């Protein structure tokens, strides 16, 4: 039973075999490999531009050798063999997932969530990591977020470079349409972003056949082209690549070689969309051999055809005549493949944003789950349209492929370094392997990452400043939201209340003044109660409530409930109103939310039935029929208080069925009643309150910057902090409320305003 409960508690990495594994591996072809799979369109011309001099035969062999070994060391060995084993327990990948593996998020504890009378503190990092590791939490988080931000910046450039390079091939056969390349590319990109709403699974099954044919096509063309110069197989000798750099002394060539491995990070970032086994199977068996053959074939034709091939290496090395049947067939599939290559980074963007939102490191955005099997397959409308607009603007701004390829690659090489460093840290801390292995991993792969990064850094003035600028802006947004949201969550945790600390029954009422007024001032608040009565009347409440009901004499009967001040010196009787109120617990933890305490301070009345509702997202598309939808706990010492956990599958709409909650409350009352008469009486009260009015209540934090001491810099720090929290975060938090993640009706929710000094 405990094992089954553990499986429900968290999303797990899928482990598939047989036909399901083959089906998911087939899907990866349509999502993951088109980015790295379309690199043959522009890599060799990225090393040797069409307007430059023709390289010697030995230089071509050396350049192809550098490509072959880069493909072997980075996407195959580093990512497919090693990095895919370092995803989170939930199966997520990417640089931010590596950080979360070192500092995992606290798992949902349904018993703790329904505990209304326990004290709750601020969450902390597990002590097993030690003080030294915790001291590096913030720097590691900033470093991981920087890699994530640059991956997202790369997601904007990938569609622009891939589609424009494919469409540009038409100039080889039809030079007169050269000026139409940009408008045609924009039209294709617009269509791509329009179909995202159909979901990853559907798009993948549609696109997978095209990607498979494309990879087989370039692999087959490579085999045919190798026959023109079989000596190209010498490229498998790594010394050829080393001698090429020694002979030419041109470090900039590495920036062109780097283009062959762009898309490697997508193999890891898309882990949440698929599984490790599916990615490994499809890459090793299909993508890697086809790409290696394609590059070898292009090198062979460049040696045999010379200047003619250099003008456009990919399109001029397609077997057969230009404008022939195979040429146009390949051209059409190049268009399809580059559109799918764009899909690779689009889905990676969805996965990365989902991780960031779940860890409160990015403003909440509405997510739509599109798969019945894989929770990570999602669609985020705001990300899709923003990414689409940015990509189209970049295509229009750069105007030519050379400028875009200069910008392309810098973000990728930087992410390579981030991934290597975080994997090296995970090896001793998470995998519990000797730290020497982590150091060896970083030295080996960090060396290759570093030389690629150095080469791409030289392209910053030529266009690489664009992804760097975009990445820095996104990184600042992530860091700011993590900091500000963390302060708000800390405030919520510190201000959680043990229900018994401020509400007591008549038998346990402390000595003090019993009045029916404001908790702070002690004055009567008939007007407030009258307003509350008006609200309940509007919802079907009693119409004969009078202001005199606001003031009550001391009632020490056990069923009477009292609100006790924090210093235990002031007591106010809580007049029960025959309605049902559902208080949503936005953040996890024991105790009742601050919104409930604030509600009682504003209104001198207490709903007859009070439900504290927390949401538990299950790692299944839909809750099985035999599972209970609502898990309910009753506060035995205080009448009318319940903790409820609402279990929901990741593809189900947020739809709280009050009638099901009421049925569950009635079942609980029958179970704990001392006799049948008491059970029937309590059930009648629950049903009467639910039939009168049901209100959903959520907190609305109005944040303020608390004073801080910084010596002589206190005024400056206070000004900057106030601007960031009150001027910026407050507005963004109102624009992007947490409730946007709940797919329910917003009209039924009352938001209780709370001043939060953070």
Distance between CA 37 and CA 174 in Å, rounded?
Answer: 25
Q: How far is CA 684 from CA 41, 133, 359, 583, 608, in A?
A: 73, 56, 42, 22, 12
**Nearest to 491, CA basis, from 730, 704, 698:** 704
Tell me what percent of the residues of the chain surpass a pLDDT of 90. Answer: 29
Pull the structure tokens for residue 692. 């009168």
Domain membership of residue 207 (yes or no) is yes
Pull the structure tokens for residue 126. 């597990």
Distance between CA 654 and CA 584 in Å, rounded?
Answer: 13
Q: Are 587 and 699 in contact (CB under 8 A)?
A: no
Distance between CA 547 and CA 519 in Å, rounded?
Answer: 17
Q: Are residues 479 and 590 in the same domain?
A: no
**Nearest to 668, CA basis, from 695, 613, 630:** 630
503 — alpha (psi -120 to 50), left (phi > 0) or beta?
Answer: beta
Pull the structure tokens for residue 703. 């944040």
Distance between CA 165 and CA 163 in Å, rounded?
Answer: 5
Pull the structure tokens for residue 160. 């622009």
How crowded is residue 119: how many other Cβ atoms within 10 Å of its Cβ?
Answer: 12
Pull the structure tokens for residue 401. 């492929």
Q: How far is CA 75 from CA 99, 145, 239, in A?
A: 21, 21, 20
**Side-chain half-sphere CA neighbours of 105 within 13 A:** 22
CATH of the domain at 346: 1.20.1740
Q: Which of 424, 459, 490 marks a domain boundary?
A: 490
Pull the structure tokens for residue 261. 């491995």
pLDDT of residue 440: 96
Q: What is the 3-state secondary structure (H, E, C) of 623-658?
A: CCCCCCCEEEEECCCCCCEEEEEEEEECCCCCCCCH
Q: Are residues 459 and 599 in the same domain?
A: no
Distance between CA 214 and CA 406 in Å, rounded?
Answer: 26
Domain membership of residue 728 (yes or no) is yes
Domain membership of residue 29 (yes or no) is no
- The CA-CA-CA angle for residues 459, 461, 463, to 5°, reads 70
Pull the structure tokens for residue 514. 């019993």
Q: Which of 474, 490, 506 marks a domain boundary?
A: 490
What stretches of 603-729 show up as alpha helix (H) in DSSP?
A: 658-672, 676-692, 714-722
Q: Are 427 and 433 in contact (CB under 8 A)?
A: yes
Q: Are residues 624 and 485 in the same domain?
A: no
How crowded is residue 246: how many other Cβ atoms within 10 Å of its Cβ?
Answer: 10
pLDDT of residue 673: 86
Note down the domain range covering 715. Answer: 577-757
Q: Residue 363 burial by CB count (10 A; 0-12/13-18/19+): exposed, middle or buried?
A: buried
Pull the structure tokens for residue 211. 């990607």
**Most distant pair of Cα atoms in the chain: their distance:** 103
Distance between CA 470 and CA 149 in Å, rounded?
Answer: 8
Domain membership of residue 308 (yes or no) is yes
Domain membership of residue 94 (yes or no) is yes
Q: Are 314 and 40 in contact (CB under 8 A)?
A: yes
Q: Are 15 and 89 in contact (CB under 8 A)?
A: no
**Nearest to 696, CA basis, from 587, 546, 580:** 580
In this prediction, the residues of the chain whose per-residue pLDDT falls under 70 are 1-16, 34, 89-91, 105-115, 117-133, 169, 171-174, 176-178, 199-205, 273, 344, 371-376, 399-408, 506-559, 567-569, 587-588, 604, 619, 621, 650-651, 653, 741-747
Domain membership of residue 511 (yes or no) is no
Q: Are residues 169 and 302 in the same domain?
A: yes
Give CA 96 to chain center in angstroms. 9
Q: Are 735 and 724 in contact (CB under 8 A)?
A: no
**Nearest to 71, CA basis, from 47, 102, 40, 100:** 40
Domain membership of residue 555 (yes or no) is no
pLDDT tens-digit map of 111-163 = 666 667 655 444 444 444 455 567 788 899 899 999 888 888 877 777 777 77
Pull the structure tokens for residue 84. 């895919």
Q: Are residues 329 and 462 in the same domain?
A: yes
Q: Are 355 and 378 in contact (CB under 8 A)?
A: no
What is 551-586 written as a DSSP string? S------TT-EEEE-TTS-EEEE-EEEEEEEEEE--
Q: Are residues 481 and 589 in the same domain?
A: no
- Beta-bridged to residue 368, according to DSSP, are 379
91 — alpha (psi -120 to 50), left (phi > 0) or beta?
Answer: left
**Nearest to 62, CA basis, from 219, 222, 310, 248:** 248
Q: Are 198 and 31 in contact (CB under 8 A)?
A: no
What is 397-429 written as a DSSP string? HH-SHHHHHHHTTHHHHHHHHHHHHHHHHHHHH
**Nearest to 423, CA basis, from 407, 451, 445:** 445
Name the 3-class secondary structure at 110. helix
Q: Are residues 586 and 463 in the same domain?
A: no
Cβ-count burial 283-312 (b if 16+ within 10 Å, e if not) = beebbbebbbbbbbbbbbbbbbbeeebbeb
Distance between CA 148 and CA 83 in Å, rounded?
Answer: 15
Q: Are residues 469 and 583 in the same domain?
A: no
**Side-chain half-sphere CA neighbours of 553 within 13 A:** 1
Q: Which of 428, 457, 490 marks a domain boundary?
A: 490
Give CA torsion, residues 139, 494, 734, 356, to 10 deg.
30
Q: Are residues 479 and 618 in the same domain?
A: no
Pull the structure tokens for residue 615. 């949401």
Q: Are 341 and 37 in contact (CB under 8 A)?
A: yes
Pull the structure tokens for residue 447. 């060396």
Q: Are residues 443 and 589 in the same domain?
A: no
As for how many domains the chain has, the answer is: 2
pLDDT of residue 511: 58
pTM score, two decimals? 0.77
**Nearest to 609, CA basis, from 575, 581, 645:** 581
Domain membership of residue 550 (yes or no) is no
pLDDT of residue 607: 92
**Nearest to 611, CA basis, from 594, 627, 596:** 596
pLDDT of residue 400: 60
pLDDT tens-digit map of 149-188 = 888 887 777 777 777 777 776 766 667 666 777 888 888 8
Q: Residue 329 burial by CB count (10 A; 0-12/13-18/19+): exposed, middle or buried?
A: middle
Distance between CA 371 and CA 31 in Å, rounded?
Answer: 14
């Amino acid at each position: 039973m405990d094992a089954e409960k553990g499986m429900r508690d968290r999303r797990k990495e899928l482990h598939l075999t047989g036909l399901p594994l083959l089906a998911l591996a087939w899907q990866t072809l349509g999502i993951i490999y088109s980015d790295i799979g379309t690199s043959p369109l522009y890599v060799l011309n990225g090393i040797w531009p069409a307007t430059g001099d023709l390289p010697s035969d030995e230089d071509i062999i050396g350049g192809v050798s550098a490509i072959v070994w880069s493909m072997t060391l980075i996407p195959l060995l580093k990512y497919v063999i090693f990095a895919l084993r370092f995803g989170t327990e939930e199966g997520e990948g990417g640089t931010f997932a590596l950080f979360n593996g070192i500092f995992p998020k606290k798992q949902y504890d349904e018993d703790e969530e329904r505990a209304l009378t326990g004290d709750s503190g601020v969450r902390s990092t597990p002590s097993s990591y030690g003080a030294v590791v915790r001291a590096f939490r913030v720097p590691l988080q900033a470093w991981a977020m920087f890699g994530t931000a640059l991956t997202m910046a790369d997601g904007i450039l990938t569609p622009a470079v891939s589609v424009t390079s494919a469409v540009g091939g038409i100039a080889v056969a039809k030079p007169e349409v050269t000026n139409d390349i940009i408008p045609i590319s924009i039209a294709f990109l617009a269509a791509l972003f329009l179909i995202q709403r159909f979901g990853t699974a559907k798009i993948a099954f549609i696109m997978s056949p095209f990607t498979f044919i494309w990879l087989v096509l370039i692999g087959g063309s490579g085999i045919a082209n190798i026959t023109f110069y079989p000596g190209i197989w010498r490229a498998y000798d790594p010394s050829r690549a080393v001698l090429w750099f020694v002979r030419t002394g041109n470090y900039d060539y590495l920036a062109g070689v780097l283009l062959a491995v762009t898309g490697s990070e997508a193999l890891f970032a898309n882990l949440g969309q698929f599984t490790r086994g599916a990615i490994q199977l499809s890459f090793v068996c299909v993508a890697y051999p086809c790409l290696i053959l394609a590059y070898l074939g292009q090198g062979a034709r460049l040696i045999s055809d010379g200047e003619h091939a250099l003008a456009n290496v990919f399109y001029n090395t397609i077997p057969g005549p230009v404008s022939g049947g195979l040429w146009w067939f390949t051209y059409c599939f190049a268009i399809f493949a580059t559109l799918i290559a764009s899909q690779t980074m689009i889905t990676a963007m969805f996965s990365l944003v989902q991780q960031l939102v779940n860890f409160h490191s990015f403003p909440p955005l509405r997510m739509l789950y599109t798969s019945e099997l894989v929770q990570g397959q999602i669609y985020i409308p705001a990300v899709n349209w923003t990414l689409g607009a940015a990509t189209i603007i970049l295509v229009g701004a750069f105007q030519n492929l050379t400028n875009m390829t200069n910008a392309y690659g810098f973000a990728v090489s930087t992410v390579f370094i981030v991934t290597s460093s975080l994997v090296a840290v995970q090896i001793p801390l998470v995998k519990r392997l000797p730290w020497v292995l982590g150091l060896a991993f970083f030295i080996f792969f960090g060396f290759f990452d570093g030389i690629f990064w150095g080469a791409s850094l030289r392209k910053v003035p030529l266009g690489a400043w664009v992804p760097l600028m975009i990445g820095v802006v996104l990184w600042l947004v992530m860091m700011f939201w993590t900091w500000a949201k963390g302060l708000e969550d800390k405030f919520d945790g510190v201000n959680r209340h043990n229900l018994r600390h401020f509400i007591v029954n008549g038998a346990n009422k402390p000595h003090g003044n019993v009045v029916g007024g404001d908790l702070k001032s002690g004055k009567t608040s008939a007007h407030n109660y009258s307003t509350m009565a008006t609200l309940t009347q509007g919802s079907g409440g009693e119409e004969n409530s009078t202001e005199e009901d606001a003031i009550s004499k001391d009632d020490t009967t056990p069923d009477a409930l009292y609100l006790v001040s924090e210093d235990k010196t002031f007591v106010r009787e809580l007049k029960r109103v025959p309605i049902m109120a559902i208080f949503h617990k936005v953040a996890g933890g024991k105790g009742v939310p601050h919104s409930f305490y604030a509600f009682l301070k504003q209104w001198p009345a207490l709903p007859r039935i009070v439900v504290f509702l927390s949401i538990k997202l299950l790692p299944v598309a839909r809750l099985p029929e035999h599972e209970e939808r609502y898990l309910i706990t009753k506060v035995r010492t205080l009448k009318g208080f319940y903790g409820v956990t609402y279990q929901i599958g990741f593809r189900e709409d947020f739809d709280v069925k009050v009638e099901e909650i009421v049925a569950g409350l009635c079942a609980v009352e029958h179970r704990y009643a001392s006799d049948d008469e008491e059970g029937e009486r309590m059930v009648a009260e629950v049903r009467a309150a639910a039939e009168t009015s049901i209100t959903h209540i959520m907190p609305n934090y109005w944040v303020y910057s608390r004073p801080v001491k910084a010596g002589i810099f206190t005024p400056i720090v206070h000004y900057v902090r106030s601007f960031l929290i009150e001027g910026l975060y407050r507005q963004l938090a109102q624009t992007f409320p947490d409730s946007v993640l709940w797919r329910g009706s917003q009209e039924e929710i009352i938001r209780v305003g709370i001043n939060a000094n953070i």
